[in-house]
Amino acid sequence: MKILIVTHKVMRGDGQARVNYELVCHLLDWGHEVTLLTNQVADDLLGRTGLTVKIIEAASNLPALLRELLWAKACTDFLKVHSEQYEIIHLNGAVAYVPHQVNTSHFVHASFRLYLKQEKITGWRNVYHRLHADLNIRLEKSVYLQAKKVVAVSPKTKRELVEIVGIAADCVEVICNAVDVKEFCPNPDRRAKTREKLGIPDGQFAVLFAGDLQQQRKGLRTILEAMAGLPEDIHLYAAGKGNPETYSEQLLPVQSRVHFLGYRRDIVDLFQAADAFAFPSRYDTMALVVFEALASGLPVITTIESGVGEVMQSGVNGFVMDPYDAKALNSQLFTLYSDPEFSARMRLEARKLALQFTWERVAEQYISIYKLVGKKAASP
């Protein structure tokens, strides 16, 4: 099958980029011809048999809003000329404005706009987010209506597409994100080495958060509020880019037990070093970092709003909480800290859940959709 995938990035480093990276790897392994229309691609994909990469540069000196619009215009111009060469044109959101077979929704701006209305964020950052969301709300529906099938990355995302965006339910298929269960797995040796490297003493209960500190929707504020009143040997390790001073008020009573690690590339090791993972997201579609924590055998505290919370069993393989409920998070962290046997059982159940969500299964599901909507399938 000749497949064209259009997306900003194809690499291991972040959510949407990782989904497409894994999909491309499996498609190539299975003998399909893949063309990428992208701005950035992982080095280890370059030169692989069956892969063609067409780079469309993004104007890095422009704000993201303008950069995305110009990039989508360039992709549209390319597709108007070359679309007939491919059996499948697979877009990822509003990255081009042409009829196509498949579009994967990794983020629903109409739903995100509802989240923004709940927040009391001030300043230009808030204004920019609202403008960005408002424009994309208009674009996403028009683009999704040009797809034969829209793929939602979680059941939550499908509901948002149907109930908020207005896409017909029978046009939307759910293919949940996944995790590399070999890369992310329990490893006692790495745990000891990483704890020593980070200066985590024996007996300390280490809670990990990983996410962009500048994005309040990731829930770090709730974690900091939950840390107040917990025992002195429960410490929080926060990995991610951004300025910790944003949280100066919440940090005051817990300053000595919170450690900001900055942007890290060793997330696999950080999972090993931790005793629990807290991610009380206020809006995500299917947060990969939660799957990665589960696969690493960590008790996870997250929310329905993270997307992953919907496939978890609260109290079995983690806790699923209200994203604003710091008291509930405080209680759940104390439970994990004070009951090692319960925490150990939850570790096993977390890993067991993650094993059900593999990238191979994701790729198989995409192939099934490709066969259903591909140009050859539509021929008499």
pTM for the full model? 0.92
Domain boundaries, the chain: 2-178+358-378, 188-354
Strand order in the sheet with 300-303: 258-262, 234-239, 205-210, 276-279, 300-303, 318-321
Q: How far apart are the C-alpha atoms of 262 and 213, rounded to whole Å?
A: 9
- Do 188-354 and 2-178+358-378 fall under one CATH topology? yes
pLDDT at 33 over 60: yes
Rg, C-alpha atoms of the chain? 21
- Helix, strand or coil, per DSSP, at residue 210: strand
Pick the CATH number of 2-178+358-378 from 2.40.110.10, 3.40.50.720, 3.40.50.2000, 1.20.1530.20: 3.40.50.2000
pLDDT at 376 over 90: no
58-108 pLDDT per residue, tens? 877 877 778 889 999 999 999 999 999 999 999 999 999 999 999 999 999
214-243 pLDDT per residue, tens? 888 999 999 999 999 999 999 999 999 999
CATH superfamily of 188-354: Glycogen Phosphorylase B; (3.40.50.2000)
Q: Which pairs from 156-163 meet CB under 8 Å and 24+ separation?
A: 156/285, 156/286, 156/304, 156/305, 156/307, 156/310, 157/105, 157/108, 157/285, 157/286, 157/307, 160/108, 160/110, 160/111, 161/105, 161/108
Residue 109's pLDDT band (boundaries 50, 70, 90)? confident
Q: What is the pLDDT of residue 78?
A: 96
Q: What is the pLDDT of residue 378?
A: 46
Mean pLDDT within 339-348 = 97
